[in-house]
C-alpha cells in the first residue's frame, strides 16, 4: 500500500519561529529576551494548529521537530498529546531530525524567507549567509530542508510564514504546495499580522487541505550531482569554508560543493557553516 494512503499515515512537522504570526524582531525569538515567552506561546499554538489539521487530514501519527535556535522552545506539556516531540539541538539533519522514508508528508510551520531577499527576519541559517543555491536555484532554509525530505522521498506539502516566504516556495518547490500566509512583510522588522485566531484557523485548515492532495505533490529532488553554492558576507569566512575537502572557491565570497545526493549536500552546507563560524 502506498504510504500516503495507508491506514497509518505519518506526518512530519518542522516548527521554526521567525515566521509565526506576531513575530517581527530578533528579541522575540531569542530565549532570555523580554518578549520571548509570548512568542514561544504563539509558536506552540501554531504547532498545535498544524497537528490538529494533520489529524483532520488523515494523519494517524504526527512527529513534531522543534527547529528554532536551541530547539527547546516547544513545551512538551503544552503540545497536543497526540504528537511526539523531537526536542534539543544536537541532532542529525537539524530542522529535519527524526524524518525517514516512512513519512507521507512534511509540513513547515513558522518558516521565513531566505537570506539576501525580502521578508520578516529573512535569513538562511546565519547572518553570515547572503545566498544559497542548489544547481543554480536560490533557496532558503525551506529549500535545504525540503531537499533533505526529498532525499527520503517525502514531499513538503505545506509551508506557513509571511508573504515573501510563500512567493519563494511557490516558485521554488514542485507541485501545488499549500502556502499559508499569516503576516504581510512591510520591512525586515515589521509586518501586518493576521489576528492570532485567524492565523490558527488558517494553519489548521491548510494542513488538512495539504494532506488531502499529498499525492499531487512530488518530493523536492535537485538533479544530482547537486552543486551547492553558498555566498558568505565576508571573504575570511569563504577563506575558511573553502578549506573543506572537495570544496571549490568560485568567487571572493562564494564556495561550492558538488554532492551526490541531498543528504550529502546538506552535510556540506553544515560544514561550511561550522568553518565560516570559525573565521568570524
Q: What are 118's three cell numbers?
A: 525580502
Residue 123 makes contact with Zn ion by CB under 5 A:
no
Are 60 and 5 spatial neighbours (Cβ–Cβ below 8 Å)?
no
Q: Is 46 in the site for Zn ion (CB under 5 A)?
A: no
Nearer to Zn ion, 20 or 157 (CB): 20
Provide the edge-to-edge strand list for the sheet that holds 10-15: 83-86, 61-66, 10-15, 105-109, 156-162, 178-187, 190-193
Residue facing Zn ion at closest CB distance: 68
Distance CA 250, CA 235 (A): 12
- 81's grid cell: 498529546
Shortest reach from residue 130's CB to Zn ion, in Å: 17
123 vs 204, beta carbon nearer Zn ion? 123
Q: For this structure, is 123 an active site residue?
A: yes
Cα–Cα distance between 244 and 71 in angstroms, integer?
A: 27
Number of residues that bind Zn ion (CB under 5 A): 4
Residue 30 or 102: the one with the smaller Cβ distance to Zn ion is 30
Measured CA to CA, the distance from residue 14 to residue 86 in angstroms comes to 10
Q: Which of the ranges 64-72, 79-87, 193-201, 253-261 carries the binding residues for Zn ion, by CB under 5 A?
A: 64-72
Q: Is 114 in the site for Zn ion (CB under 5 A)?
A: no
Cα–chain center distance at 219: 15
Given candidates 11, 16, 106, 254, which one binds Zn ion under the rule CB under 5 A? 16
Q: Judged by CB under 5 A, does residue 68 bind Zn ion?
A: yes
18 or 163, CB closer to Zn ion? Answer: 18
> Which of the stretches 1-9, 16-24, 52-60, 249-257 binds Zn ion when contact is defined by CB under 5 A?
16-24
Of 109, 138, 87, 83, which is closest to residue 17 (Cα–Cα)? 109
Using CB under 5 A as the criterion, which residues of the chain lie in contact with Zn ion when the complex forms? 16-18, 68
User: What residues are labeled active site?
Assistant: 123
Amino acid at each position: 500500500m502506498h504510504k500516503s494512503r495507508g491506514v497509518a499515515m505519518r506526518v512530519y512537522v518542522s516548527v521554526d519561529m521567525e515566521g509565526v504570526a506576531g513575530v517581527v524582531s530578533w528579541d522575540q525569538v531569542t530565549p532570555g529576551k523580554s518578549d520571548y515567552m509570548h512568542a514561544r506561546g504563539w509558536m506552540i499554538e501554531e504547532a498545535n494548529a498544524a497537528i490538529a489539521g494533520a489529524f483532520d487530514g488523515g494523519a494517524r501519527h504526527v512527529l513534531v521537530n522543534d527547529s528554532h535556535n536551541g530547539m527547546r522552545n516547544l513545551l512538551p506539556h503544552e503540545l497536543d498529546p497526540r504528537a511526539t516531540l523531537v526536542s534539543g539541538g544536537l541532532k542529525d539533519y537539524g530542522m529535519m531530525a527524526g524524518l525517514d522514508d516512512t513519512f507521507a508528508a512534511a509540513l513547515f510551520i513558522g518558516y521565513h524567507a531566505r537570506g539576501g531577499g525580502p521578508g520578516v527576519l529573512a535569513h538562511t541559517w546565519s547572518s553570515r549567509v547572503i545566498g544559497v543555491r542548489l544547481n543554480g536555484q536560490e533557496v532558503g532554509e525551506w529549500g535545504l530542508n525540503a531537499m533533505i525530505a526529498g532525499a527520503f522521498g517525502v514531499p513538503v506539502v505545506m509551508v506557513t510564514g509571511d508573504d515573501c516566504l510563500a512567493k519563494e516556495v511557490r516558485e521554488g518547490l514542485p507541485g501545488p504546495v499549500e502556502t499559508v500566509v499569516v503576516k504581510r512583510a512591510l520591512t525586515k522588522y515589521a509586518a501586518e499580522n493576521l489576528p492570532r485566531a485567524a492565523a490558527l484557523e488558517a494553519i489548521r485548515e491548510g494542513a488538512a487541505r495539504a494532506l488531502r492532495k499529498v499525492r499531487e505533490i512530488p518530493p523536492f529532488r535537485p538533479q544530482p550531482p547537486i552543486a551547492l553554492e553558498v555566498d558568505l558576507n565576508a571573504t575570511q569566512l569563504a577563506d575558511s569554508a573553502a578549506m573543506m575537502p572537495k570544496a571549490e572557491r568560485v568567487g571572493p565570497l562564494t564556495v561550492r560543493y558538488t554532492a551526490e545526493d541531498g543528504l550529502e549536500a546538506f552535510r556540506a552546507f553544515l560544514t561550511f557553516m561550522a568553518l565560516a563560524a570559525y573565521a568570524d
